[in-house]
């Protein structure tokens, strides 16, 4: 049984409430956001989550065993194929989102999630997602674990991002530089 704690209203509001109107998204949470079709906003709500933008901070710092983020993307936009070191759970708050993955035969599969549907994606699965709503939409992403780790990207995605000036440093943090000449 948990030991009771007591928090003042001021402390609860200051440290444990994230107001959407006050959240500051990053457009560069991941290296794939440099590649056409993968532009999106990431709002980190609880815990650091999986994030390659070293300057992006969560609204709520306390994050035992999970992190919560919010994704906003235009129609047709979303994440490239990638792998996480943690379980990842998605729930569309509005619109429709396609989650795609590589199956055990090496073929891409897809499921379309409707508003409030939930999917749990296991550790190590190549997965991606995109908004298929016909308009801008939001989706919640939850990662398990106190340390959400880093993302593994396909080499061809890393090459495309590098041409746009996006690279990862040795710690997996996003760096931007002048785009490479074509």
Residue with tokens 């390659």: 52
Q: Is the pLDDT of residue 144 over 80?
A: yes
Specify the CATH number of the domain 23-166. Answer: 2.60.120.10
What is the per-residue DSSP string for 78-114? EEEEEEESS-EEEEESSS-EEEEEE-TTS-EEEEEEP
Q: Is the pLDDT of residue 74 over 90?
A: yes
Q: Which of 161, 89, 82 is nearest to 122 (CA)?
A: 89
Residues 6+ apart with CB under 8 A from 51: 26, 29, 30, 42, 44, 69
**Model-level pTM?**
0.88
What does the pLDDT average to over 64-77?
93
Alpha-carbon span 141 to 149, nearest angstrom: 15
pLDDT in tens, 18-62: 999 999 999 988 889 989 999 999 999 998 778 888 888 899 988
């Amino acid at each position: 049984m948990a030991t009771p704690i007591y928090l003042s209203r001021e402390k609860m509001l200051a440290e444990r409430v994230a107001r959407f109107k006050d959240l500051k998204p990053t457009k560069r949470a991941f290296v794939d956001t440099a590649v056409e079709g993968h532009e999106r906003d990431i709002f980190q709500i609880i815990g650091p989550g999986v994030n390659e933008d070293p300057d992006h901070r969560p609204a709520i710092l306390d994050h035992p065993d999970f992190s919560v983020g919010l994704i906003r993307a235009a129609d047709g936009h979303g994440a490239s194929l990638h792998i996480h070191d943690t379980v990842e759970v998605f729930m569309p708050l509005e619109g429709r989102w396609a989650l795609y993955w590589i199956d055990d035969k090496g073929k891409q599969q897809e499921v379309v999630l409707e508003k409030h549907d939930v999917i749990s994606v296991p550790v190590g699965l190549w997965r991606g997602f995109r908004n298929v709503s016909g308009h801008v939409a939001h989706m919640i992403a939850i990662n398990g674990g106190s340390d959400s780790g880093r993302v593994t990207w396909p080499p061809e995605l890393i090459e495309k991002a590098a041409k746009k000036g996006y690279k990862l440093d040795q710690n997996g943090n996003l760096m931007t530089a002048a785009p490479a000449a074509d």
